Structure 1
Amino acid sequence: MNILAFFPAVVQSTRSLWRYGQTVLGIIFRHPITGTSIIPILPDGRIVLIRRRDDGQWALPGGMVDWGEDIPTTARRELMEETGLELIGIRRLVGVYSAPDRDPRIHSICVVLEAEVRGKMEVQDTLEVIEIQAFSPNSLPPGQMSHDHSRQLRDYLNGLTTLA
């Protein structure tokens, strides 16, 4: 039997598989990914920020919602993974931010929460975080923060609940 006789069937099968893969990838990546940012408030009122390894800028802790998680679970997990802090309670919803260009990596929808936290600040995920620091609301680091976190923090400090 000639192996070349099977070649057209293999090519057709590969093309079909590739089209199927493209469809699945299109469904996944043509829809925004949901994530959360946490505005962690220590008992003394200071706000905890992280410095991101990828861009060196200050940011709010947070990340993408994993399959099977809800927003509070994601906030608790991301806070612990990035800062070592324990989420005691969610105080309020600060906003939902969905501008397609808010995250330079992907189109994501970010649910921003103010959270009461406690514990010892310690970098847990050294691949993402290079530094953790707590700031009083009137002495936040100057300059632009990563992603749209400057706006998120500004909205929080102004007492807003934002849908953007």
Structure 2
Amino acid sequence: MPLAPLSILPRSVMGLAKEVAKALLRRPVVGVSAAARTPDGRWLLVRRGDTGTWGLPGGTLEWGETLRSCVVRELEEEGGVTQTTVGRLIGVYSRPDRDVRFHAVTVLVTAEIAEPTRQPINPLEIREVRLFTDDELPREIAHNMSDLLDAARRGDGEAILE
């Protein structure tokens, strides 16, 4: 027997369903970004496919994943980095207007990395990977994250990420 069309469900049930969907779909997303440097002090940035701008490597936390393993995975997927030592927590940022796609809560950590040895896994998402000296860094960082990179460059943060 086929299910009844949604149009015949009582208005109160539809209203409740809309509220539940809104609550489930409109939650902040937790992600991590890495202020990653090589031992000689160069910063790893990735050129994003969606905006064409340079940004910090990072992404959203997956179910069952620790922040530390997320940093390592994202640096490998986006930056082609296979050797990472996760450093300290710089800060947790939650400005809702930072990313137009969703409200992200971004955990920014430092990482010491070896030079990239692979291409990004998804070339549509990440178009290019490059190491920058302090003098070469772009003025603007994707998703309004210049303040995050500035905090890492100042050496903010002290806690060890676990």
- TM tier relative to shorter chain: 0.7 to 0.9
Distance 1:94-1:87 versus aligned 2 partners, 3 A rule:
farther
2:156 matched to 1:160?
yes
Task: Supply the AA of the counterpart residue of 2:71.
Answer: A
C-alpha deviation, 1:30, in angstroms: 2.5
Of the three residues 118, 123, 127, the one matched with 2:120 is 123
Of the three residues 35, 39, 43, the one matched with 1:43 is 39
Indicate the residue corresponding to 1:113 in structure 2: 109
2:84 matched to 1:88?
yes
- Kept in 2, the 8 Å contact 1:38–1:62? The answer is yes
Please identify, of 150-159 and 14-23, the stretch whose mean Cα deviation from structure 2 is larger.
14-23
2:133 matched to 1:136?
yes
Where 1:147 maps in the other structure, the secondary structure is helix
TM-score (norm 1): 0.82
Question: Distance between the aligned counterparts of 1:22 and 1:52, measured in 2?
Answer: 34
C-alpha deviation, 1:10, in angstroms: 6.4
C-alpha deviation, 1:54, in angstroms: 0.3
Task: Supply the AA of the counterpart residue of 2:117.
Answer: K
- Kept in 1, the 8 Å contact 2:93–2:106? The answer is yes
Indicate the residue corresponding to 1:145 in structure 2: 141
Identity of aligned residues (%): 35
C-alpha deviation, 1:15, in angstroms: 6.6
TM-score (norm 2): 0.83
Question: Distance between the aligned counterparts of 2:145 and 2:5, measured in 1?
Answer: 52
Task: Supply the AA of the counterpart residue of 2:129.
Answer: I
Question: Distance between the aligned counterparts of 1:75 and 1:114, measured in 2?
Answer: 9
- Kept in 2, the 8 Å contact 1:52–1:59? The answer is yes
Question: Distance between the aligned counterparts of 1:61 and 1:72, measured in 2?
Answer: 14
Report 1:5-84 matches (<5 A): 11-13=7-9, 19=15, 21-84=17-80
Task: Supply the AA of the counterpart residue of 2:30.
Answer: T
C-alpha deviation, 1:7, in angstroms: 9.2
Task: Supply the AA of the counterpart residue of 2:41.
Answer: G
Question: Distance between the aligned counterparts of 2:5 and 2:98, measured in 1?
Answer: 45
The one-character-per-residue Cα deviations of 1:32-79 (angstroms, maximum 9, x if unpaired) are 110011111113221110000101110000011111112111111111
Question: Distance between the aligned counterparts of 2:6 and 2:155, measured in 1?
Answer: 61
Q: Which runs of no fewer than 5 residues in structure 2 stay unpaired?
A: none
Question: Distance between the aligned counterparts of 1:31 and 1:102, measured in 2?
Answer: 15
- Kept in 1, the 8 Å contact 2:76–2:120? The answer is no
